[in-house]
Structure 1
Amino acid sequence: MTEFNVPVSEGTRVFLNFSVSLEDGSEVDTNFGGDPVDFSIGDGSLLPGFERRLFGMVAGDRQMFEVLPEDAFGQPNENNVQRMQRDQFDEDAELEIGLVFSFADAAGGELPGMVIAFDDDEVTVDFNHPLAGRTVMFDVLIHRVEPAELH
């Protein structure tokens, strides 16, 4: 295998391990302890606010970044909180605060929504990303960077 010592930039494929945690240290997601993931810069695999922080890093670099909500999962949007009629849910669905349901979006994809309130008539569902409004810590270890055209 040919080794490259190119920095992460447009037109590169990056192999890395990462973790995302909250400011209090609680881990949200990680692949440390497993195989690195790989993606091409700009392919949409990684949020742009995370991707930008990798630019200039080379194989062997490890860094922890604080990512503000604007560069991570955004701020909560009150338009993403919807009230629905209770009868839109299965009669036998046992509703509870924090329960996540999968809803069909306009394009036919799936959109998760979390129940934040309910009564006999209405259910209030929050479609904001669960990490919206949160500052997250992004710990990344770069294993390999190579020109994307090799794939």
Structure 2
Amino acid sequence: MTEVTQGAKVRIHYTGTLEDGSVFDSSEGRDPLEFEAGSGMIIPGLDKALPGMKVGDKKKVTIAPEEAYGPRHDEAILEVPRADIPAEIPLEVGIQLQMSGPQGQPVPVTVTNLTDDTVTLDANHALAGKTLIFDFEVVGIG
């Protein structure tokens, strides 16, 4: 296969940054990211940038939240009584915990605020609502 098409197995090296230039993820020093083009395995905005690219091609794309991790949702911020959280769970702002969703699926949450009586948990993805910038290179197709 000489160029990326729907269903192709693709390998890329990438660096993902936020608009302020801070790096949120990179494949530097690791194996390339491998996925099937068009399968939904990566965020839509990055997937849409790939068709027609060849091994060795490089690209920089800016991806709006709607084509990345979506917008932030206020309803995903929960304030729960501190007494409802088991005492053995350490609580501090910024720590990640895991809750169970309606069907028992794991839902990661981040502690965003603590008071004597309540704990505020944010179930939004850490990159929700953010514009992402990816510099990437196709290093394999096949």
TM-score (norm 1): 0.84
Q: Identity of counterpart residues, as a percentage?
A: 32
Pick the aligned partner of 1:139 from 126, 135, 141. 135
Which residue in 2 is equivalent to 1:78? 74
Runs (5+) with no aligned partner, structure 2: none
Deviation at 1:92, TM superposition (A): 4.3
1:66 maps to 2:81: no
Greater mean deviation of Cα atoms: 19-28 or 85-94: 85-94
> Contact 2:7–2:39 (CA<8 Å) still a contact in 1?
no
Residue of structure 2 equivalent to 1:11: 7
Equivalent residues in 2 for 1:38-77, closer than 5 Å: 38-77=34-73
- Tell me: CA distance 1:11–1:94, structure 2 relative to 1, closer, same or farther (3 Å): closer
Q: Is the partner of 2:104 in helix, strand or coil?
A: coil
Question: Which shows bigger deviation, 129-138 or 92-101?
Answer: 92-101
Shift, 1:81, TM fit: 0.7
The CA distance in 2 between the partners of 1:52 and 1:113, in whole Å, is 29
Q: Which runs of 5+ in 1 are unaligned?
A: 147-151
Any runs of at least 4 consecutive aligned residues in structure 1 with deviations exceeding 4 A, and if so which?
Answer: none
Q: Distance in 1 between matches of 2:89 and 2:122?
A: 17
- Residues 97-112 of structure 1: matches in 2 within 5 Å? 97-112=93-108
CA distance in 2, matches of 1:36, 1:74: 25
Q: What letter matches 1:31 in structure 2?
A: S
